[in-house]
Amino acid sequence: MSIDIEIGTSLSNEDAAHFAATTEAITSAMQRVRESHAAYSWVWTDEIRCRGCNASLDIPLLASTNLSADKAFQAHQSAQLDALLAAGGHLRGKAG
Ligand SMILES: [Zn+2]
């Protein structure tokens, strides 16, 4: 009945540990991104600015709605997350 059990048993202990560590790294990175890039302000009808890092984000002029701004801001957050993971998210094992 439970899919969880099937996934759990198909992972070796090493895989499971790696998976848990990766998940933990991503979760903590996401928290840092949400804290550091928590909100945005409208600068102009086609521009928003991250209140955390002051990054300027373009909004398509004909689609300057809160929805577009949210999307642009989410893209900004996910870019920050990628950068954070690329910079500090590598797990031990590879020489840097
Ligand atoms: Zn930001």
Q: How far is the CA of 55 from the centre of ligand 1 (A)?
A: 6
Structure tokens at 80: 């920050």
- Which two structure tokens, joined as six digits, stand for 95? 């020489």
CA of 57 relative to ligand 1 center, distance in Å: 9
The arithmetic mean of pLDDT across residues 81-90, rounded, is 82
Whole-prediction pTM value?
A: 0.71
Rg (CA), the chain: 18
Domain boundaries, the chain: 3-88
pLDDT in tens, 4-37: 555 556 668 888 899 899 899 999 999 999 999 9
CA of 22 to the centre of ligand 1 (A): 23
Q: How far is the CA of 19 from the centre of ligand 1 (A)?
A: 28
Ligand 1 centroid distance, CA of 31 (Å)? 13
Round to whole Å and give the CA distance between 56 and 76: 10
